[in-house]
Amino acid sequence: MTIARSFVNILSDQLATTRDFYVDLLGFQVAYDSDWFVQLVDSGSETTIGIMARDHELVPDHVRGGFGGSYLTIVVDDVETVYARAKDLGIPIVEEPRDLFYGQRRLLVTDPNRFLVDVSSPTVSPPTDL
């Protein structure tokens, strides 16, 4: 088996607002936009995020209610730039950037769905044996 690609789908009651959050804060581009699904891409990293209408028939009833202990991590080259942008946009900041023991500086924000987004930058070079 070969995995062709993988991405997260965020369930949302606010497709356009959620789309704009990721476009405005992190510079994603809209690859597909409909009344039930939005696909965002970052061509520089080949990162993809899907945003799906929570009440769409493709979403099973038992998962429509919440996220269940997950969050999205996006690694960027400069978390301070994203932090400044988040403040300018009035985005809820859960935790201001801080250095963590594993070699990253992390900012925590929430998207319009109250989904936790971890935006991090490396503070040290990653080990070569990973």
52 or 125, which is more confident: 52
Q: Give the dihedral sign, CA 98/101/102/103.
A: positive
Q: What is the pLDDT at residue 36?
A: 95
Question: What's the rounded mean pLDDT across residues 32-46?
Answer: 93
What is the percent of the chain where pLDDT is above 90?
61
pLDDT tens for each residue of 65-107: 766 667 888 999 999 999 999 999 999 999 999 999 888 999 9
Q: What is the pLDDT at residue 114?
A: 87
- pLDDT value at 126 more than 70: no
Q: Tell me the C-alpha distance between 46 and 130, whole Å.
A: 20
Q: Tell me the C-alpha distance between 50 and 38, whole Å.
A: 6
105 phi and psi angles, rounded to 5 deg:
-105, 125
- pTM here is 0.83
Q: Give the dihedral sign, CA 21/50/64/13.
A: positive
Q: What is the pLDDT at residue 44?
A: 83
- pLDDT value at 38 more than 60: yes
Average confidence score pLDDT of the chain: 88
